[in-house]
Structure 1
Amino acid sequence: MIDSDSRTMPSSTPETVRKPRRLLKFLIGGLVVLGVIYTAGWYYLARELEARVATNIAAFKERGIDATCENARASGFPLRVGLDCDKVGWADKAKNLSVTAGSFRSAAQLYDPMRINSVIEGPAALDLPGFIPLDAKWEGLTSSIRLDRPLPKEITIDGKNVVVSGRDPGAAPIAVVGSGQLDFRANDPQMDVSLSFNKLKLADNVVPNRSLPELTGAADIGLANGFALLGKTERNLTVLRGQSGTLRKVDLSFEDGSGVGITGPFSVAEDGRITGEFRVTLRNPEGFAKAVQDIVPEAGNTISTVLQALAFAPRDANGAPTLPISVKNGKMSVGFINIGRLPAL
């Protein structure tokens, strides 16, 4: 018999030991090469970004626009690529428009380079045509842009605790808003615009002889030909002339919870007159009517007429009266009852 301890067992040879070590070296070497290539690619993109910013700023200057991005530099290595500036500004003397603010930071994830997120620090100085010089400060101001051709597909701007005041030392705030968000979504030729704000308080002198309460509101509006707005030079509501669309949601609330919601299709004629079929829902009609009458006392008769009509109006699921209001060339009516006229845009 052969003793079990005397049997020949497999033994490790130098060749079998070297194979896994060689594979490990190849793996580490490959990772190092990939890291070097990735790093070189990232810094190449960074240099291209800085060069593009300098080229664009020079192009704006040739058009008479003073765009500023002080100490522009790429940032975000290794997982993002973005641009940082110590100070940003935009000045168009031809339009009497100037905006300057603090530092600016933007970045895009390398796995999603078409979406750019940015943060801008205050305070900001604003010189706008038709307004007194303004200063603005905020607790937070961010934006997100989804790039596309020829224009961005989505733009979102978020603000928190924004305060706007005159530039004179010690000037009282003109407007204060707890939070707000503005969204643009484009799908040529349609454009969707949504806005929301919370605890907006305007100074009493913003509208002469009017004391305005604190407001919270939201709007979601679809414009059938919203892309056409981008080529217009108007800076007021006349820009909407010739447009049509749908008010998916327009809602305004006062501090006591009373408020109004409006939905429905509309169109704006070239003379600014509005035509549309709207459903208007009032929460706490008496409280809403009192608040509106305090703001616009001359509209007392119209408000009283609407309140009388509400007694016969159908109710929504929450018990709030809902009125169908027709508007034809600015003239408003509930059934056969005329309730006033909307001003032209």
Structure 2
Amino acid sequence: MPDTTPAPRRRPLWRLFIMPALLVVAAAAWSAFWFYAASEVGVRADAWAAQEAKSGRVYACAKREVAGFPFRFEVRCDDASVALVSQTADAKALFTARLGEIMVIAQIYQPKLLIAEFKAPATLADRGQPPSMKVNWTSGRSSVSGLPDIPQRASIVFENPSIDRINGPVQTPLARAGQAQLHGRFAEGSAQDNPVIETVLQISGGSVQEVHPLLAAPFDVDVQTRLSGLKDFKPKPWPERFRELQAAGGRVEVVRSRVQQGDLVSVAAGTLSLNAQGRIDGELQMTVAGIEKVIPALGIEKMLEEGVPQATLDRVAPGVKSQDLNNLFGALDRAIPGLGKVVKQNANTGVAAGINALGKEAELEGKKARAFPLRFVDGAVFLGPLKVGQIPPLF
């Protein structure tokens, strides 16, 4: 019986090549897109740097490379530097920071999130001078959410940051911390229209040398602020921005501030603003627990025993003359030998009592505390009637 089974139909071979061909075309198109976008990275970076330079912030890279093919962009900047011109009230000031490398990473599928990594160390120098400070860290990273020219939020975190003062071959510790982080976001408005900016600064295990013995002991800081009064967030010198802020009646609201150093805990909240001279005005309501333990560290007793320089009195008690104090202690000793010395030795107790009289009793985190205002008047900082600091003008 003859075989009547029909022969199988042969499929065209070209169909087998459709999928591979499509994959090759897609890969070629993707590669073309990636390399075109990579070339645009340099163009956008140069345009941004040129815009920043007009505002007095000059960024430079000795060598720039773009990598990360096929699914992300990695922009590496070697021997990076930024020169800050006209960013303080002293328009002639020039400040330059240099660091070895910055790596900026963006994923293709998440182009509005930029992550940057910073390679330590960095050096800081004034105009025409050798580096005066060296900044180090074990890990430094920042992130920016939103378009590069219209960011929505940003963060920067440093692990184990340190600052050393450089004097020739000698490096002297200036500041240390276990971690320092700063976060910011637009709470209202936008970068182009009346932005309201919220920031959070957190420092853990911080310490500062060469300023005051109180700051040498480790402390933790957590501060949340809210800045309003800006017209926009376009790049411009900081003095110009501060002038705009003052003219618009802008202010900084300290929403929350907490500082802890051992048994000392301080919280504060209030509002600060700028006057027409560029100086800070305002008031913070403070509550402090453990303030009596700070008084001995202020060194009031030692200051009185050695004689009080008039410049010191002008800072802490305007209007009081050093000669008046010396005459007072001398008169006490003449009336009752040794009385002047007793008064000096109990100076810290007297100052503590005076500070306790500034405010009212309160409770903070289950501890006895005092509540009182910290006032800012034309840049001067007052704790009750005592002037404890002076802040220079911001423009």
TM-score (norm 1): 0.74
| SS at structure 1 position matched to 2:41 | helix
Q: Which residues of 2 match residues 128-139 of structure 1 at below 5 A?
A: 128=126, 133-139=132-138
The code of the aligned residue for 2:239 comes to E
**Which residue number corresponds to residue 63 of structure 2?**
71
Contact 2:121–2:137 at 8 Å: present in 1 too? yes
**CA deviation map 1:188-224 (0-9, x unaligned):** 33122221111222223x45x8774322211110012
**Which residue number corresponds to residue 101 of structure 1?**
99
Paired residues in the alignment total 324
Percent of paired sites with the same residue = 17
Distance 1:61 1:202, change over 3 A: closer
**Which residue number corresponds to residue 154 of structure 2?**
155
Shift of 1:45: 0.4
Distance 1:88 1:176, change over 3 A: same
Structure 2 unaligned regions, length at least 5:
86-91, 304-312, 317-347
| SS at structure 2 position matched to 1:86 | strand
**Which residue number corresponds to residue 22 of structure 2?**
30
User: For 1:234, which of 231, 235, 239 is the aligned residue?
Assistant: 239
**Which residue number corresponds to residue 140 of structure 2?**
141
CA distance, structure 2, for counterparts of residue 117 and residue 153 of structure 1: 14
2:260 matches 1:253: yes
Shift of 1:160: 1.3
CA distance, structure 2, for counterparts of residue 309 and residue 64 of structure 1: 44
CA distance, structure 1, for counterparts of residue 65 and residue 228 of structure 2: 40
**Which residue number corresponds to residue 4 of structure 1?**
none
**Which residue number corresponds to residue 353 of structure 2?**
304
Q: Larger relative CO (CA 8 A, sep 6+): 1 or 2?
A: 2
Structure 1 unaligned regions, length at least 5:
1-10
CA distance, structure 2, for counterparts of residue 265 and residue 193 of structure 1: 14
Shift of 1:76: 1.9
Distance 1:274 1:92, change over 3 A: closer
**Which residue number corresponds to residue 270 of structure 2?**
264
**Which residue number corresponds to residue 174 of structure 1?**
174
**CA deviation map 1:203-258 (0-9, x unaligned):** 23x45x877432221111001224678645439x999755323211111111x232
**CA deviation map 1:273-326 (0-9, x unaligned):** 5234x442323343355556779978666643343467x534356355463648
Shift of 1:113: 1.1
Q: Which moved more, 1:160-169 or 1:241-250?
A: 241-250
TM-score (norm 2): 0.66
Distance 1:22 1:279, change over 3 A: farther
Contact 1:84–1:104 at 8 Å: present in 2 too? yes
CA distance, structure 2, for counterparts of residue 51 and residue 296 of structure 1: 62
**Which residue number corresponds to residue 46 of structure 1?**
38
The code of the aligned residue for 2:363 comes to R
Q: Which residues of 2 match residues 271-282 of structure 1 at below 5 A?
A: 271=277, 272=279, 274-276=281-283, 278-282=284-288
